[in-house]
């Protein structure tokens, strides 16, 4: 079976790495002009003129990034099975549609309002009570697209900074930590859930994911499973879906979802019986799902901007290095390291030991380290 992947970055690369042992072949369709998957056939097509060519070479279609025109996915779906379905893509591309769907399915979200002018942003901030987070409805550009308002008087400034005709204004969530759940649904409707991961960001980029999330109460995992299952079934979804959430004193609050394999699931490559990548390939190919049980405790460390001391990291007996074959550039995801351990104490020690070989890596902070 030949799988067509829309997008050709590191997620596509890791999908292919997981798919080759199952005798899948891959054709990547790249619209960026700078594919990095480095495996399989790559069709670079900036203006859509090779879409038919791509279609003729593949049996099924999936994607590794969600910012492609929905019409492209819809057009493809008229000819070949496209998993997940274009509707999932559509929902994820629009924060208003996404939060509306969450609400319809009983998934808790921050209280939110829509603003389409500086004045209505101010009114929304007043109604919700500051602080609030204003986000462009669709993807921001140049790192723009979000602003925190500590006072409604900041509305004018925030509106200009965001530079988008329509924004969602959310009440600021006072969260204990950020977490994510990854689930997979097969063509037959079978669903499997990975354990929740705890995610630490630095300068807006994911740095560390620990799974299973330390100290997680069983009802939190159950709630997350209930929420993501509702989404999977509503969308008649096939493949891996990620739901990013805030854990608060009162339970989970949903932030956003990604219709694909996710950075916070890279730990599953060695840390789970079946990785998110293999399970996505299994699902989109119509196979049975694989066992999602964790093999132990994992922490994924992202390699951002510069590679660091690769040789020293390769010497660590508990570290698994994954490089994406990309050039160094500030803020760029170049690879990740998966660390495995039998106890959280050992995990913390190993993560710190590894992180010293990653210059510029922020200090390891998590619920494990803040407890002292």
| DSSP character at residue 194 | P
Residue number with CB closer to ligand AMP (38 or 251): 251
Report, in Å, the least distance between residue 167 CB and ligand AMP.
Answer: 12
Euclidean distance between CA atoms 179 and 200, whole angstroms? 9
Q: Is 170 in the site for ligand AMP (CB under 6 A)?
A: yes
The token pair that represents 225 in the structure block:
């499973």
Number of residues this chain uses to bind ligand AMP (CB under 6 A): 10
59, 74, 111, 256: which one binds ligand AMP (CB under 6 A) = 256
Contact positions with ligand AMP (CB under 6 A) in 172-191:
172-173, 178
Cβ–Cβ < 8 Å for 15, 281: yes
Report, in Å, the least distance between residue 113 CB and ligand AMP.
Answer: 12
- List the beta bridge partners of residue 183: 193, 241
Euclidean distance between CA atoms 209 and 342, whole angstroms? 16
Q: What is Dmax (Cα atoms) for the chain?
A: 59
- List the beta bridge partners of residue 62: 5
Euclidean distance between CA atoms 6 and 9, whole angstroms? 10
The token pair that represents 144 in the structure block:
């723009």
Q: Does residue 141 have a known ligand-binding role? A: yes
Render 343-364 in DSSP notation, one character per residue. Answer: SHHHHHHHHHHHHTTSTTPPP-
Q: Does residue 142 have a known ligand-binding role? A: yes
Letters for 109-148 (x = contact with ligand AMP by CB under 6 A, - = none) are -x----------------------x-x-------------
Report, in Å, the least distance between residue 95 CB and ligand AMP.
Answer: 7
Stretch that binds ligand AMP, among 34-42, 168-176, 299-307, 328-336 (CB under 6 A): 168-176
Which residue is associated with the tokens 């007996």? 317
Euclidean distance between CA atoms 190 and 362, whole angstroms? 39
Q: Is 362 in the site for ligand AMP (CB under 6 A)?
A: no
Q: Is 247 in the site for ligand AMP (CB under 6 A)?
A: no
Stretch that binds ligand AMP, among 170-178, 219-227, 338-346, 363-371 (CB under 6 A): 170-178
- List the beta bridge partners of residue 301: 208, 337
Q: Is 201 in the site for ligand AMP (CB under 6 A)?
A: yes
Which residue is associated with the tokens 């209280």? 111
Residue number with CB closer to ligand AMP (20 or 172): 172
Cβ–Cβ < 8 Å for 12, 30: no
Euclidean distance between CA atoms 152 and 230, whole angstroms? 35
Residue number with CB closer to ligand AMP (178 or 223): 178
Q: Does residue 171 have a known ligand-binding role? A: yes
Cβ–Cβ < 8 Å for 114, 168: yes
Residues in the chain: 372
Residue number with CB closer to ligand AMP (149 or 192): 149
154, 200, 221, 255: which one binds ligand AMP (CB under 6 A) = 255
Name the packing angle between helices 118-128 and 155-162 (round to 10°).
120
Q: Is 168 in the site for ligand AMP (CB under 6 A)?
A: no
Residues that bind ligand AMP (CB under 6 A): 110, 133, 135, 170, 172-173, 178, 201, 255-256
Bind-site residues: 95, 135, 140-146, 170-173, 178, 201, 255-256
Bind-site residues for ATP: 95, 135, 140-146, 170-173, 178, 201, 255-256
């Amino acid at each position: 079976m030949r799988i067509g992947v829309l997008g050709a970055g590191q997620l596509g690369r890791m999908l292919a790495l997981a798919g080759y042992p199952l005798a899948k072949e891959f054709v990547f369709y790249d619209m960026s002009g700078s594919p990095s998957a480095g495996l399989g056939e790559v069709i670079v097509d900036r203006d859509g003129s090779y879409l038919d060519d791509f279609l003729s070479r593949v049996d099924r279609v999936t994607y590794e990034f969600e910012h492609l025109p929905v019409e492209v996915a819809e057009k493809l779906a008229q000819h070949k099975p496209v998993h997940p379905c274009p509707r999932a893509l559509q929902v994820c591309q629009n924060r208003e549609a996404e939060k509306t769907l969450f609400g319809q399915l009983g998934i808790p979200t921050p209280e939110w309002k829509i603003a389409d002018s500086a004045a209505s942003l101010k009114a929304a901030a007043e109604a919700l009570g500051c602080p609030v987070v204003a986000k462009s409805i669709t993807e921001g550009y140049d790192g723009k697209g979000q602003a925190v308002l500590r006072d409604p008087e900041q509305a004018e400034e925030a509106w200009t900074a965001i530079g988008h005709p329509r924004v969602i204004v959310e009440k600021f969530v006072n969260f204990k930590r950020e977490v994510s759940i990854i689930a997979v649904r097969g063509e037959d409707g079978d669903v499997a859930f990975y354990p929740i991961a705890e995610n630490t960001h630095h300068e807006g980029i994911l740095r560390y994911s620990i799974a299973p999330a330390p100290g997680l109460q069983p009802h939190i995992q159950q709630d997350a499973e209930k929420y993501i299952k509702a989404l999977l079934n509503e969308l008649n979804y096939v493949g891996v879906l990620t739901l990013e959430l805030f854990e608060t004193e009162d339970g989970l609050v949903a932030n956003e979802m990604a219709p694909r394999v996710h950075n916070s699931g890279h730990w599953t490559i060695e840390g789970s019986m079946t990785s998110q990548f293999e399970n996505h390939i299994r699902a989109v190919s119509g196979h049975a799902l694989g066992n999602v049980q964790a093999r132990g405790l994992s922490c994924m460390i992202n390699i951002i901007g510069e590679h660091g001391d690769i040789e020293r990291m390769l010497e660590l007996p508990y570290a698994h290095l994954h490089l994406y074959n990309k050039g160094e550039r500030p803020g760029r995801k170049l690879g990740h390291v998966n660390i495995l351990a039998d106890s959280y104490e050992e995990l913390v020690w190993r993560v710190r030991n590894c992180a010293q070989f990653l210059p510029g890596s922020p200090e390891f902070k998590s619920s494990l380290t803040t407890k002292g």
